[in-house]
Amino acid sequence: MIEVMNEPKTRTPMPAPTREPVRRVGPPPPGEQPAMLIEHATKRFVVGRKKRPVVAVNDVSMSIRRGEIYGVLGANGSGKSTLIRLISTLLTIDSGRIEVLGHDVERHEMAVKQLINRVSVDAAFFKKLSPHENLAYAARLYGLDAGPARTEAIRILARLGIAEKRLNRPLEQMSRGMQQKVAIARALLTSPTVLLLDEPTTGLDPRSKLDVQAFIEEVRDTHDATIVLTTHDLAEAERLCDRIALINDGRLVAEGTPDELKALVASQHGGEPTMDSVFMTFTGRSLDDDHDDDENHDE
Amino acid sequence: MSMATRELRASFAFVERNFNLTKRYWGWEVAWLVYSLAAALAVAFIGVAQGDTRLLQVLVIGTIFWNFLSIVFGFIGETVTWERWEGTLEYTFMAPVRRYTQLVGSTLFAVSYAVIQMIVILVVMMLFFGLEFTGGNFLTAATFLVLGSISFVGVGMMAAILPLLYVERGDQMVFVIQSVILLFSGVYYSTDVLPDWMQFVSQFSPGTYVLDGIREGLINGTPVTELLHDVWPLLIMGAVLIPLGVKVFGIAERYAKRTGKLKRVG
């Protein structure tokens, strides 16, 4: 069953997954602890010289099951990245609550930090340092032994097509696609229970994009990680995500599997059964439309 | 793994990272060392020009140990600026690391780096001017170096808050603080020559006590036990400023998270 959230309504259980029978898709059934629970999360900022208040995330609720890839789709400035930052403990929440495996992000910040990792749109690295040096830094920050972490990093990067000999060159000498792969390897190194991928393929060339997408699929199949993926790429969302939430003006406007969303648009709105049509129907604009209101506070 | 082991590893992360960055920016390191050496020599030549050995010693000690203290202060005070410039601030702040762990790691590296640079400059100065601190009390100098490092870490921690609160102007404010400490601490002169109001202000600078203690130790051979009037203020400043700095930094971090300033780059 699909959920359209133009008005607050009672959440109903999702049907069993159809795409991959072994995967658990949909909100957790009663009694099962969700990987992530967001209830009425709201975040406001004041922007500009006139201190104009902007609601970047507006009463958003979602419950994500362990092992799901949960897509968050929205135009620029819709509140996607703000939501990711709230989960990442990089922003404080104004009202509502967010829990990661039962740990409140505000009250149990350190516990949540141990459980999550994030790959942002801009690979946040010390660019002069090599992948090896950056990964060693990450490993130590998360309390890992640098030796085994290096072995694991080599394995992950080899899977992503980065040879061991490249590990000692400065990251600034690598392409953006390569850097993004190292960023994903760094995140996986800490074995996060929840992996937050904030537009990981934005700006990548088609080949790198496909590589990263294939790797996300592999992570889904081989790791016990729940993935929250924000993206601009509708095809990517359809390919990778078990469920998708559409965000517009900071509000969650629709949620469901890609097939459910497409079917809904086709049956109730008379649109084409495509993700483009889904996006246009629920946001009323194209992906390229920027949103001035909160661009200083990201999407 | 115990919490202590985890924190120790995390602390070492900052030492290793800064070491690697220093290695990668080796060209700049050489440039800074040459600049520091040139500046120290230039100031010392004022003493030579006056034909006054004691003045030369005062200037050499001032320039070398100010260089040490300003490195420690700079590393801590510019922590946020540096990470923001590299684009890693959010990554580091998202990691499960306590701020005091980060502080310990950053301090260990800063002090090690500053000691190495201090030794290089000191050796060059001694060779250049044939300086000898015969009869100098090196234990006194070392004690004040340690105490000075602690108190400057405290001041640096307080200063590090500014780039968190003021994304565009914070780093400039840190620079101004460093300049004010330089002016009021008697780096190249005795604070006795300052106007009364400046002498009053100089009492609140840890640099005043560090430089006075080191000069007393190296030039006059005064044991540290006779310099308690310089020791106590430094102990108090360290004991107050470090925990206060960590606490206030936490408040500032919370403010930055509330207003979205961690993400801002300028």
| ipTM of predicted complex | 0.87
Mean pLDDT lowest among A205-209, A284-288, B148-152 = A284-288
How close B99 gets to chain A, by Cα (Å)? Answer: 12
Give the residue on A whose Cα is nearest the Cα of B254.
A92
Residue A7 above 50 pLDDT?
no
Look-up of token digits 């004041």: A46
d(CA A175, CA A62): 35
d(CA B99, CA B216): 36
Domain boundaries A32-297, corresponding CATH code: 3.40.50.300
User: Which has the closest alpha carbon to B145: B248, B71, B84?
Assistant: B71
Which residues face A116 on adjacent strands? A194
Residue A289 pLDDT: 55
d(CA A55, CA A45): 6
Contact B87 A122 (CB under 8 A): yes
Residue B45 pLDDT: 94
Which H or E element spans position A60? strand A52-64
How close A265 gets to chain B, by Cα (Å)? Answer: 36
Q: Where are the alpha helices (DSSP H) in A24-175?
A: 80-87, 109-115, 131-141, 146-159
Residue B64 pLDDT: 94
- Average pLDDT for residues A106-133, to the nearest whole number? 92
Which residues face A117 on adjacent strands? A195
Domain range list for chain A: 32-297
Which H or E element spans position B2? none
Contact A137 B16 (CB under 8 A): yes
Domain range list for chain B: 3-259
Count the alpha carbons within 13 Å of B99 in the hemisphere toward its beta carbon.
21
d(CA A200, CA A202): 6
Question: Which among A128, A142, A296 is the nearest to B25, CB-wise?
Answer: A128
Look-up of token digits 């995967």: A23
All residues of chain B having their beta carbon less than 8 Å from the beta carbon of residue A117 are 94
Give the residue on B whose Cα is nearest the Cα of A128.
B24
What is the strand order of the sheet A103-104 is part of? A52-64, A36-47, A95-100, A103-104
- How would you class A210 by CB atoms within 10 Å of its CB: exposed for 0-12, middle for 13-18, buried for 19 or more? middle
Token pair recorded at residue B188: 């190249």
Question: Which among B90, B258, B259 is the nearest to A124, CB-wise?
Answer: B90
Is the Cα dihedral B146, B152, B158, B160 positive or negative? Answer: negative
d(CA A291, CA A284): 12
Specify whether the CB–CB gap between A63 and A11 falls below 8 A.
yes
d(CA B99, CA B111): 18
Residue spans of chain B under pLDDT 50: 266
Token pair recorded at residue B200: 């009053």
Specify whether the CB–CB gap between B16 and B103 falls below 8 A.
no
Higher pLDDT among residues B209 and A291, named by residue: B209
Residue B163, number of CB atoms within 10 A of its CB: 28
Tell me, yes or no, if A80 comes closer than 8 A to chain B by beta carbon: no
Q: Across all residues in chain B, what is the average pLDDT? A: 91
- Please, which residues have CB within 8 angstroms of residue A124's CB and are 6 or more apart in sequence? A183, B87, B88, B90, B91
d(CA B39, CA B242): 30
Residue B264 pLDDT: 56
d(CA A117, CA A251): 24
pTM, rounded to two decimals: 0.85
Contact B96 A141 (CB under 8 A): yes
The CA-based dihedral angle spanning residues A279, A284, A288, A294, taken in that order and rounded to the nearest 10 degrees: -110
All residues of chain A having their beta carbon less than 8 Å from the beta carbon of residue B260 are 45, 82, 85, 91, 296-297
User: Which has the closest alpha carbon to B215: B69, B52, B60?
Assistant: B60
For A66-88, what is each residue's pLDDT tens digit? 999 999 999 888 999 999 999 99
The amino acid at residue A4 is V
Residue A257 pLDDT: 93
Position A33 confidence tier, pLDDT thresholds 50, 70, 90 = confident
